[in-house]
Amino acid sequence: MGKPTGFIEYLRELPVDRSPSERVGDWNEFHHHMEEKRLKSQAARCMDCGVPFCHTGTLISGMASGCPVNNLIPEWNDLVYRGLWREALERLNKTNNFPEFTGRVCPAPCEGSCVLGINNPPVTIKNIENTIIERGWEEGWIIPSAPTVRTGKKVAVVGSGPAGLAAAAQLNHAGHTVTVFERADRPGGLLMYGIPNMKLEKQAVVLRRIRHMEQEGIKFVCNANVGGNVATAKLREDFDAVVLCTGATKPRDLSAEGRTLKGVHFAMDYLTQSTQALLGKGPDTNPIHARAKNVIVLGGGDTGTDCVGTAMRQQCTNVVQIEIMPQPPMDRAADNPWPEWPKVYKMDYGQEEAAAKFGSDPRVYQTTLKQFVDDGNGAVKAIVTVQIRWDKNDKGQFVPVEVAGTEKTQPADLVLLAMGFLGPELHVLGELGVELDPRTNVKAEHGQFTTSVPGIFAAGDCRRGQSLVVWAINEGRGAARECDRYLMGSTDLP
């Protein structure tokens, strides 16, 4: 696709970001736009490779290789190269309900498996995807399209994160009457409160899509805690089917000495309060805030990076991000070949900002926390860490082993636990009586999404465990398809 010789003629280019020193002064998105001529050149690099891996969504070594929603990437790259933006939008919307989300927050497994990426920088798929959808909004091509015929069936979707939104959108297109229940004060789930504004704007991007879905006939009910102020029995009584998209919101904790000291918080509590304050409704007393504090972030993933970026905007005194794993190599290792996701060293936006202010990447590798130190008044004042190495145990499993003599004490006024999630909260699942798998996720096979209770389906992180936004969209679409089949006996949903 694209220009046959484009991958030879053009180098990979990305939009220029605002400088770290500038962008930490506000909560706005930090990517500049790229002019159309240069975007067409980037689309021209798509090389008509014959057997494209970018849209496969295959799991290799436990990670996605290619796009989990099977975006028709070579096709819309070719259309962008030829200036056919509206046609490119139509292709994009065939597989992805929310390209404005994935085009901003997806780590782009499609680029990791781009054939050009074997020996050259891959095609800038993610940036082109985001530009297509934003062009559609700007040109007025994206208009509400409510179904002309309703089936008379009613479906409840529990949770309004990416899986819930995708399921709701697809079920609504099929003609069912859909109500989405969200326990927070605003819809969007992870998209609203789990990802900071500078990475995914709430008013201009998330709520824009929510309003669009409302205009198509979907009803959102916020402050609705299913199993609490919304009875599960009432849910089953009032709806013909239920789709569970509650996420995997139970955070991983640690049991180090001093864990209960003031100033030690789960990352998601911190990120949620920060976004609530930005939107004008935060906690009335004692909000979690990083201003003038030494901040420690435990965890090296996306959530940890978001904590770093948020702390920078709150004018922290210093920030250190502790990662138990080794630093990744600069290039693919021999045991990480294409088309696997490339596990290589990179600095994300938060690390770039911390490095610009404090002089270096804030991450410390192969290190773990041993103790939180009390200031004498019940608050944390420091942490004790130790370096580790990874050795095999008698079962052949790699386990962390402390390196003697490497203990270190460093100041800490705010410690954020960003070590991942253990699965869904179990109260509502117990009330509904759905069976769980050994990891305490909802037991439902991928592709079927049916739980042990007829008429109840599950999708997203509550079914597969903590994962990517793009996988949540994949699962929401799949659960909608199987729910529609259950309700109608057959389905035309993809």
Q: Are residues 72 and 51 in the same domain?
A: yes
- What is the residue-level pLDDT of the chain in tens, covering all 494 positions? 668 899 999 999 999 999 999 999 999 999 888 999 999 999 999 988 888 999 998 888 888 899 999 999 999 999 999 999 999 999 999 999 999 999 999 999 999 999 999 999 999 999 999 999 999 999 999 999 999 999 999 999 999 999 999 999 999 999 999 999 999 999 999 999 999 999 999 999 999 999 999 999 999 999 999 999 999 999 999 999 999 999 999 999 999 999 999 999 999 999 999 999 999 876 767 899 999 999 999 999 999 999 999 999 999 999 999 999 999 999 999 999 999 999 999 999 999 999 999 999 999 999 999 999 999 999 999 999 999 999 999 888 999 999 999 999 999 999 999 999 999 998 899 999 999 999 999 999 999 999 999 999 999 999 999 999 999 999 999 999 999 999 999 999 99
| Segments forming the whole domain that contains residue 475 | 154-249+422-488
Which three-class secondary structure state does DSSP give residue 55? Answer: coil
pLDDT at 1: 60
pLDDT at 372: 98
Counting the structural domains of the chain, the total is: 3
Q: Are residues 430 and 409 in the same domain?
A: no
- Report the DSSP pairing between strands 408-411 and 398-402: unpaired
Q: Are residues 285 and 400 in the same domain?
A: yes
Note whether residue 144 is domain-resident.
no
Q: Are residues 345 and 307 in the same domain?
A: yes
Among residues 386, 403, 419, which one ends one of the domains? 419
pTM of the shown model:
0.95
Note whether residue 68 is domain-resident.
yes
Among residues 395, 419, 443, which one ends one of the domains? 419
Q: Are residues 112 and 187 in the same domain?
A: no
Note whether residue 376 is domain-resident.
yes
Q: Are residues 278 and 330 in the same domain?
A: yes
Specify whether the CB–CB gap between 177 and 155 falls below 8 A.
yes
Among residues 94, 111, 139, which one ends one of the domains? 139
Q: Are residues 93 and 160 in the same domain?
A: no
Beta strands in 239-379 (DSSP E): 241-244, 250-251, 264-266, 294-298, 318-322, 363-364, 367-374
Q: Are residues 261 and 238 in the same domain?
A: no
Element (H or E) spanning 207, and its range?
A: helix 207-215
Specify whether the CB–CB gap between 487 and 164 falls below 8 A.
no
Note whether residue 370 is domain-resident.
yes
Q: Which of 468, 420, 347, 353 minimizes the C-alpha distance to 105? A: 468
Beta strands in 70-127 (DSSP E): none
Distance CA 217, CA 189 (A): 20
Distance CA 154, CA 307 (A): 39
Express the helix, strand and coil content of the chain in percent, nearest 5 each: 35, 20, 50
What is the domain-level CATH number for residue 303?
3.50.50.60
- Report the DSSP pairing between strands 294-298 and 414-417: parallel
Q: Are residues 240 and 113 in the same domain?
A: no
Q: Are residues 38 and 69 in the same domain?
A: yes
Q: Are residues 215 and 163 in the same domain?
A: yes
Distances (CA, A) of 346 to 137, 286, 336, 361, 466: 32, 35, 16, 10, 22
Note whether residue 259 is domain-resident.
yes
Q: Are residues 86 and 193 in the same domain?
A: no
What is the domain-level CATH number for residue 95?
1.10.1060.10
DSSP-assigned letters across all residues of 389-447: EEEE-TTS-EEEEE-TT--EEEE-SEEEE---EEE--SHHHHHHT--B-TTSSB---TT
Q: Which of 246, 270, 301, 328 minimizes the C-alpha distance to 107? A: 301
